[in-house]
Amino acid sequence: MKKILSFLLALAMVLALVVTMVACQPAEQPGPDDKPSTDKPSTDKPSTNNPDPNEPGPDERIPVNYLPTTTYGGAPIHILEWSCNDVEEVGVSWIPWEEGDVEVEDGDMLASAVFDRNAWVEETYGVDITKEYSSIDGNPGYITLARNDASVDSNLYQIFTMRTIEIIHMIREDLFTDMNLYEQYLRFDKPWWVQDSVASFTLGSHLYAASSEMLLRDKGATAALYFNQSLAENYVDDLPDFFELATKGDWTLETMIEACTAVAVSHDGDELINSATDIWGFVGDDDPVYFLYNAAGYKFAHIDEDGFLDYDFAEDGSDSIQVMQDIFLNVIYADWYMHENLIGRKILETDQDLFVDGNALFKSGMVKDTTTELKNMTDMYGILPHPKFSVDQENYSSLVYQHHDSAVGIPSHTADKEMSAVILEALSWESYYSVYPVFYDTILLNRAAKDQESKEMLQIIFATRSYDPGQYWDSTSGLHGGSGLLRLSETGNANIASIWAIHMDKVQESVDRINNWIADKEAD
């Protein structure tokens, strides 16, 4: 009996010691991988980033155990987001969806996903996420706010989102941090970073901005072509099945032109397509010039293997000038094309209104139009990628448009760049699993796409998203400005060779300027 009692006493002492040791261990902070994997990416999500097939599948999250479990004691994460024309209200053309911060959960599925994402990041890392909109052309304006913050080291902003056409100015003024300096936290090879964006924004060995799944406006700025299905049914004997052609890879510019020619008709007795009561083949503004050129498989430039800008337009052996001229002659200046600013085409309704009212077969636009311009359209519309230039072209290509898109970066003068990097990666990772699936499945596939065929077309569009460095890194030549290709569609001039001759030296100066800047950065 004494032996048994001695044994029990010893056992009790051991157990007490173990309990004491466990109790004395420091409490572990919740890490990013501790979040329950309740929100799964949709199986319909297009593989835009070509994730590693050896990584976890859709039913489990890719771990981010490289992120620290540090908490920041309520530190602010203030995001400066770009706007335009003094727009600060979500739900209009420039800001179709909330992506940075939702202050009050209002029941909208997408807003709720953003709210929940931020709440988890705030709780996990002990930060306070807020956002501020500022117009590019406002007073004082986005870039001025960024400059002022840098000049006095006020530490007001921890993250920037900016449309890509302005980023070059901010980078050259050292307003953006080289994010590659924080590669221990920012893993740009992961699928929550848009890989074509990373490649297109890499300058030398530096990366100052890129698109991640934290952002939605870059998705909304993706080119898409809409057609009026109700109108097409009236010409069923004259028109092919656009969905079937696109699925087979046979949707081409020639086929689109033939369809526009077949449908366009004058209803006011003058035999001219020139009024709001006529049926137009195609409506658009200046932007389709770029959408159709990119869809033809062309870019103005690319980033070479050493990270320098290599210009492709009008290079020796290229037919890019001829392709651009064909787009102007056969589409932009066709009798059935409605561009509200084109000489002789000014009518009472805008090109957008013509399509919404059922008086145009095609509308060239962007994905975000489904939420803004087309949300009250009565007729059924279908969604297509912009057509290939020819059937021999291997893939479709859907431009992410630099005037409306968004990229994210870290301000160069924020006090704790490491914290900004950690939070940016956490926001992007969490968005990949919780925000983006809601956006894609609910907002696009279930609200924007009216039929199964359009859903399949959206998958093609998102799988072929394309960035063109020649449009946002060449910021000073004027080729893409008011005197160049962007406004050329208002003049009736289709002599692309002469336009190029006017701008070619300035384009080369712009390319040399950015490449010399890159070379200087590499030498530092």
pLDDT tens digits along 448-484: 998 999 999 999 999 999 999 999 998 789 898 767 8
Q: Which candidate, 470, 171, 164, places its Cα nearest to that of 309?
A: 470
pLDDT band at residue 71 under the 50/70/90 scheme: very high
Confidence check: pLDDT of 340 > 90? no
193: β partners: 212
DSSP letter string, 285-333: -STHHHHHHHHTT--SEEE-TTS-EEE-TT-TT--HHHHHHHHIIIIIT
What is the distance between the alpha carbons of residues 340 and 285, in angstroms, rounded to a whole number? 7
Model confidence, pTM: 0.88
Confidence check: pLDDT of 393 > 70? yes
Q: Are 415 and 76 in contact (CB under 8 A)?
A: no
What pLDDT, on a 0 to 100 scale, did the predictor assign at position 267?
67
Q: Are 218 and 198 in contact (CB under 8 A)?
A: no
Q: Are 388 and 296 in contact (CB under 8 A)?
A: yes
Token digits of residue 171: 């980078």
**DSSP tag of 348:** S
Highest-confidence segment of 122-126, 329-333, 449-453, 494-498: 122-126
Confidence check: pLDDT of 244 > 90? yes
Average pLDDT score over the chain: 86
pLDDT band at residue 349 under the 50/70/90 scheme: low
What pLDDT, on a 0 to 100 scale, did the predictor assign at position 130?
97
DSSP letter string, 88-124: -STTBTTB-S--S--SS--S-HHHHHHHHHHHHHHHH
pLDDT tens digits along 98-127: 999 998 777 789 999 999 999 999 999 999
Averaged pLDDT, 135-146:
90
Torsions phi, psi for 373 (to 5 deg): -65, -35
Averaged pLDDT, 391-396:
96
**DSSP tag of 484:** S
What pLDDT, on a 0 to 100 scale, did the predictor assign at position 51?
40
Better pLDDT: 319 or 4: 319
Confidence check: pLDDT of 352 > 60? yes
pLDDT tens digits along 372-389: 889 889 999 999 999 999
Confidence check: pLDDT of 1 > 60? no
Averaged pLDDT, 482-504:
84
What pLDDT, on a 0 to 100 scale, did the predictor assign at position 137?
85
Maximum distance among all alpha carbons in the chain? 117
What is the distance between the alpha carbons of residues 410 and 483, in angstroms, rounded to a whole number? 33
Count of CB atoms situated within 10 Å of the CB of 12: 10
pLDDT band at residue 285 under the 50/70/90 scheme: confident
Token digits of residue 60: 């489990």
What pLDDT, on a 0 to 100 scale, did the predictor assign at position 485?
86
Residue 338 DSSP SS3: strand
Q: For the chain, how far is it from start to end, CA to CA, in angstroms?
A: 81
Averaged pLDDT, 222-233:
95
Half-sphere exposure in the Cβ direction for 483 (13 Å, CA): 11
pLDDT-wise least confident of 40-44, 218-222, 466-470: 40-44
pLDDT-wise least confident of 163-177, 182-196, 383-397, 474-488: 474-488
What is the distance between the alpha carbons of residues 163 and 218, in angstroms, rounded to a whole number? 9
Confidence check: pLDDT of 265 > 90? no
